Structure 1
């Protein structure tokens, strides 16, 4: 391991003097523009598209949400549901082309808010009003972290674009007491730019779910049936605060800083019913359970950037440091009326505190023949402290700590990385090759059980991108990258975490990282407002990490994690955008997806495979210069899982915007108007059968107002893309 660390340190050390040498060797060029006007370095080959629509390059696609009315009044989940390649289920869990292992970032930086337990809840609760664009990278280059076998989704927030003062106020109100709103403002004058934002979202949800199970009983040779159902009412609040500052030390140097605070809290009252039968079909065990739970998640981050531009376009050095703290807690109190058996009172708590420190340095230098070299290194350290507690008793005042529910688990991870990418055009052909080297060290401590463990490994992650311009409107692309999905901290904790009397969850300390080889080829045609994208992709994964459900007896199920031997998936995706009439535009995308899973270790005789079809459609009608109507719909197809499948589901949304004047707009949206969005998951193994259904009152109507004032100065030049491997964009 020491040799690996030395090699990695040497690579990073080489990058530093390279900066000095590059400055000395840089060819004479005209003086660089001021940072506020200079273009941002882009790790790509060809960029096409307008400010308001789709921007594409060889390694990513960027989708504007400016005209997505659902994003104006809804959550981040609502905005992502209308982005090609992306799927979001009822619980807010995100997948890219069927792969749920996705890294979600904000302005090019990972966030603990969207990592680990409760990440889906955070996406459901956080307002999308501050999001400007969504960048999707299904095959990121070596300049980016290889984490997330599905790829990377970057949420790009609205930036300071005009000199002077500007501000926006938005307020939306919906049915069932729902409301959200926020205010954002900016000030730019000379060398100084200030910006800030505050938003609040209040939501109310009703959810009902039921599960019909049958487990094989080897004694009777029959399947024993049981049924569990529940109804819950939830209310929650989410808040977001941000303050940022930028200052130009001179014409070539900019420093910036930002503070973010995000938080959310949900409270839920639930009523559960359970009935279990014996081999003769007689109910032998039942219970009624009333529970109250509180879910809270907060995230605080502080970051600072330093950017220095040198002579020549795209010639710069960027340093960025960030410190982040994320707290997550779920508290539960419950009363269970057991039949037969004594009544039971219980209290449980699941909590974790995560700290993360990240240091990055990126250097970009143009070379001869329009080539470009990009190098950098990154050091990230994260710590997780999990604290679980449980107590039971005959009365609420006589609870006794239950050792089987009380546990502390510590997890520490350090990732040191260095990378380099080289890009060069050869006439109509362009190539970009990259290599990322990473050393990972992990330490675990199951404090309660006195069990310590850990691992370390060194890995190289290559990437390759090719582009060929057929003509002015058409382009071919091809790419390859090696991706990794590291187990989450809690995935390695073997302690059984209590969820309800018949459901436990535990980690697996023997988990290994999943590795995925990802291949893509694509064709793009663009002519004015019309564009077509077709992409064929194939992925092969080894040591895939997935949920495995095991029967502990008595109707109790344990969900844990396991490395599958191998899985393969591929498909064909298309995106089409154009104009039907001068006033009507459309956007359609679809994905034909095939998946094969080697589940022989789970009791199946042979690998399982299946094909799915999903997609989305959006139609916009600019009826008058002031009236804008929108209809959008999406469908998630049937999807294979290691032990069963997920049934298809979809949603239809409507929207209307009235431009009262240049500063004031009225928006009305209706979500899930047909009431079709739901979740149904089936487990079908030789020893366990389960069909679980979950329905939520996603349907809602919102009425909102947005008022903008100030910002009368000329708009600054926008970068080709909103972020790069370094800090945020200049300008």
Structure 2
């Protein structure tokens, strides 16, 4: 028998429920079926995934609703008694319908035609035009817009527009003036981003969604890369229906390409593909001068190196949504480069009195076939439908790269002493990289998150290199330059991080442990070099938000730069046999402690980012030049320590609706301490770089853009690098109501992007000059799909 109080409460609850149901029935009538079809006004084409909702007349809040099917039809039921129906889709004007005066079982709206909303379309276009930077706790995110100077450009040109990042004329990427950057594609290592692959040029600007710049990575990330991590995130559109884009580009020097991107999303599957085909010619004017200061003899070479490429790139992938909590992804990428390198170099040798001794011409004929293949299997599990952050992610990634190259060199005497000769080289290069990752993220509360995981990377390389000299009517093998170089590296890493992020203050700390097992082997001579070491890599980050307009970030991390395969490979490059680059199999890794403080300010129409940083690096790797018989040989060596302190400033300002300014400035000073072969390399120096982009909206839907770049001169252990300034221009015209775009871009307008260096030692001098010259490109791009598919703005994709 229940106490009287509990009996009374139960009777009261039952009574309230009964009267509540009766009141609800009085408010809501019998179900009404609402149906119809949504099409585009004018064309009559159906609009899929338009939003149709019934909303309360008084509160204006949604009651129920649906989205249209592929054929534009819709139907749903409501029991509401005081409602209206609203139909809308991004880029189109919304239409509203009141409920019928007489209630019936069906409300048939018939065919509803939506007209385009010019203002909405303009807002979407403007939002997608300008690349912009967002700041996270431990990284900066550069969302790639439609920057005009990058039209038809490769990923390297896009990177050169990212704050803090510079790409030199050789395609080497540096972050805050320092190389040793770890390049990732979609958060994972990729042969496309590796120095060996040299394939970033196969990624075009319109394939990139965003670039993440991580100057102080947390322990979650691979510790590789002393100056930080650059992660290129490619587009994988997940909006329902069929979406896609096509782009066609042409330019001079020869640069012609066609790219197609397609995406099809259903309830269970997201299918995505990209295909690109192109040809390009990359001519480089070169000048080298080797001077022996002991006897004043010299060798001077000038010429043009060509790199002609036909390239093909195919990406196929699928996401399978097993259910709301589990997604399986399988993707593959195949790329092929066909290289032709016809180059001619004029040589002249002078004696101590500066009289011509000999003059000859060296002609190169090189053909190469470079296939690349990548596949990935990824499984992602969400543990809670309401929490996207509680996840388990496993990925297995395989990268394969090969180079089958043959070269012939012909030296023909023009005057003076006989220098006639012939050489042949053959390269059979194969690389396989396997990466396995397991990451677990658990937000324990709204403020506290823990992360843990492991990564295992296996790198297996074989380089079969052969040199033959033409002697007495036949080619004879040169055993001093012929060998098989094998490189095997295994890196196992485990990590754990914890973070707290409140409304004002956040902090994140972590620790990573990595074990490296590296071995190199010269098969022909039997020489080997093995390295085995274990390292801890701590990290710490914090941020404080003073207001919506002012915030502060600080971070620390320890990094490693492991010598790459080409740093270790001792084979000579004899393209210019008076200027040779050679690897060093005994190189040790670099280690860097990196500290930084960054402040962010939002001041009306301006956003500012000011930061200071300090890096301390041990066992610094520098290329050292040695000199013998007027032949300069460059070889990397571990030389001492480096202390670098710098300041960085980024700003964006839009004083007028038609004018936007973006600026980037970086200054650093450094102190070098080191000794090599009894020679002391102690010195101090500094360097700075700046970029300014000006964008102007012109009448008749034209946009104009200018980007100026400057890099100061600076010192290395032996060299003086000259400064460099260059200007890029872009012009764009929107057509077909913004669904198609015409672009014109000019990179290096004044042909002033020249790389010059001088190695000045007591007994020799070596001068090098390289210039790519002006590039002009014209492009056309068109997007198709459900209204907004053409807007590849780098913004977060709508599902």
Shorter-chain TM range is 0.7 to 0.9
Task: Give me the whole-angstrom Cα distance separating, in 2, the residues matched to 1:573 and 1:310.
Answer: 41
Alignment CA distance shift 1:639-1:342 (3 Å)? closer
Aligned residue for 2:149, secondary structure, equals helix
Alignment of 1:424-439 (within 5 A): 424-425=500-501, 428-439=504-515
Q: Following TM superposition, by how much is the alpha carbon of 1:702 offset from its aligned partner in structure 2, in angstroms? A: 1.9
Residue matched to 1:269? 342
Is residue 644–residue 685 contact of structure 1 (8 Å, CA) maintained in 2?
no
Query: How many Å separate the matches in 1 of 2:131 and 2:573?
Result: 47
Once the two structures are superposed, the pairs formed by residues 630-645 of structure 1 within 5 Å of their partners are: 630-645=705-720
Match of 1:530 in 2: 606
The answer for the alignment partner of 1:393 in structure 2 is 470
What's the CA shift for 1:630?
1.1
Contact 1:166 1:711 (C-alpha < 8 Å) held by counterparts: yes
Q: Does structure 2 retain, via aligned residues, the 8 Å contact 1:126–1:239?
A: no
Partner of 1:705: 780
The alignment partner of 1:77 has SS state of helix
CA contact (8 A) 2:145 2:794 kept: no
Aligned mates of 1:238, 1:57 — CA distance in 2: 36
Which residue of structure 2 aligns with residue 139 of structure 1?
216
**Residues 1:485 and 2:561 are matched in the alignment:** yes
Structure 1, residues 483-517: CA drift from partner, whole Å, max 9, x if none?
11001123233444534322333322221110011
Deviation at 1:329, TM superposition (A): 4.1
Q: C-alpha distance in 1, partners of 2:243/2:209?
A: 16
Task: Tell me, in whole angstroms, the C-alpha distance in 1 between the residues paired with 2:426 and 2:674.
Answer: 34
Q: Answer whether contact 1:405 1:498 (CA < 8 A) is retained.
A: no
Check the 8 A contact 2:681/2:717 in 1, yes or no: no
Aligned pair partner of 1:310 in 383, 407, 412 = 383
Partner of 2:417: 340
1: CA distance, partners of 2:766 / 2:441: 54
Which whole-Å deviations, capped at 9, do the CAs of 1:51-81 have from their partners, x for residues lacking one?
A: 9622111211111222212223111121111
CA contact 1:112–1:326 (8 Å) conserved in 2? yes
Kindly report which structure 2 residues correspond to 1:662-673, keeping only aligned pairs within 5 A, or say none: 662-673=738-749
Aligned-partner SS, 2:497: strand
Task: Kindly indicate whether residue 697 of structure 2 is the aligned counterpart of residue 622 of structure 1.
Answer: yes
Give the deviation of 1:450 after TM superposition: 1.1
1:474 is aligned to 2:550: yes
Aligned counterpart, 2:274: 197
State how far apart, in whole Å, the 2-side matches of 1:715 and 1:283 are.
62
State the shift of 1:394 in Å: 4.2
1:25 aligned residue = none
Choose from 152, 157, 170 the match for 2:234: 157
Work out whether residues 599 and 608 of structure 1, in 8 Å CA contact, stay in contact via their aligned partners in 2.
no
TM-score if structure 2 supplies the norm length?
Answer: 0.79
CA offset at residue 91 of structure 1?
1.6
Q: Secondary structure at the match of 2:440?
A: strand
Residue 758 of structure 2 is aligned with which of 682, 689, 711? 682
Spell out the pairing of 1:206-605 with structure 2 (5 A cutoff): 206-217=283-294, 222-311=295-384, 312-337=387-412, 340-341=417-418, 343-368=420-445, 370-394=447-471, 398-425=474-501, 428-527=504-603, 530-551=606-627, 553-601=628-676, 605=680
Matched residue pairs, number? 666
Alignment pair present for 1:94 and 2:165: no
Distance in 2, matches of 1:385 and 1:137, equals 32
Q: Distance in 1 between matches of 2:305 and 2:563?
A: 31
Distance 1:715 1:391, change over 3 A: closer
Question: For the residues of structure 2 that align with 1:104 and 1:714, how far apart are their CA atoms?
Answer: 29
Q: Deviations over 1:185-222 (max 9, x none)?
A: 100011111010011232123322111222343xxxx4
Q: Does the aligned pair in 2 maintain the 1:71–1:129 contact within 8 Å? A: no
Q: 1:713 to 1:631 in 2, by over 3 A?
A: closer
Deviations 1:304-330 (A, max 9, x none): 110110124511111100111011344
Give 1:299 deviation, angstroms. 1.7
Deviations 1:588-610 (A, max 9, x none): 11111223322442665551222
The 3 A distance-change label for structure 1 pair 162 and 635 is same
Q: Deviation of residue 350 (structure 1)?
A: 3.1
2:162 aligns with: 83
Separation in structure 2 between the aligned mates of residue 295 and residue 649 of structure 1, nearest angstrom:
32
SS at match of 1:78: helix
Task: Give the CA deviation at 1:659.
Answer: 1.1
Is this contact kept in 2: 1:127–1:180, CA < 8 A? no
- Compared CA separation, residues 228 and 81, structure 1 to 2 (3 A): same
| Structure 1 residues 164 and 712: CA distance shift in structure 2, 3 A | farther
Question: Matches of 1:546 and 1:118 in 2, distance apart?
Answer: 22
Partner of 2:770: 694
CA distance in 2, matches of 1:251, 1:719: 25
Q: How far 1:370 moved relative to its partner?
A: 1.4
Partner of 1:405, secondary structure, is coil
Following the alignment from structure 1 to structure 2, what is the Cα–Cα distance between the partners of residues 497 and 719?
Answer: 41
When residues 185 and 202 of structure 1 are mapped into structure 2, their CA distance, relative to the original with a 3 A threshold, is same
Moved more, 275-284 or 573-582: 275-284
Counterparts in 2 of 1:387 and 1:529: CA distance versus 1, 3 Å: farther
Gaps of 5+ in 1: 1-48, 723-729
Partner residue of 2:3? none
Shift of 1:469: 1.2
- CA contact under 8 A between 2:245 and 2:789: conserved in structure 1? no
Give the Cα separation in 2 of the matches to 1:103 and 1:538: 19
State which drifts further: 276-285 or 222-231.
276-285
CA contact (8 A) 2:433 2:460 kept: yes
| Secondary structure, counterpart of 1:279 in structure 2 | coil
Question: How far apart in 2 are the matches of 1:81 and 1:715?
Answer: 25
SS at match of 2:738: coil
* Distance in 1 of aligned mates of 2:790 and 2:321: 18
**Mind listing any 5+ residue stretches in structure 2 that lack a counterpart?**
1-127
Alpha-carbon distance in 1 for matches of 2:661, 2:289: 42
After TM superposition, give the deviation of residue 427 of structure 1 in Å.
6.1
Q: Secondary structure at the match of 2:480?
A: helix
1:450-472 Cα deviation digits (max 9, x unpaired): 12331111111011101111222
* Structure 2 match to 1:74: 153
Q: Which moved more, 1:309-318 or 1:231-240?
A: 231-240
User: What is the rounded CA distance, in whole Å, between the counterparts of 2:686 and 2:677 in structure 1?
Assistant: 21
- Asked whether the equivalents of residues 687 and 713 of structure 2 are also in contact (C-alpha less than 8 Å), the reply is yes
Q: CA shift at 1:643, angstroms?
A: 0.9
Q: Which has the larger radius of gyration?
A: 2
Please report the TM-score for the alignment, with normalisation by the length of structure 1.
0.87
State the alpha-carbon separation in 2 of the partners of residues 256 and 569 from structure 1.
42
How far off its partner does 1:265 sit?
3.0
Aligned equivalents of 1:153, 1:255: Cα separation in 2: 26
Farther-moved stretch of structure 1 (110-119 vs 303-312): 110-119
Of structures 1 and 2, the one with the larger relative CO (CA 8 A, separation 6+) is: 1
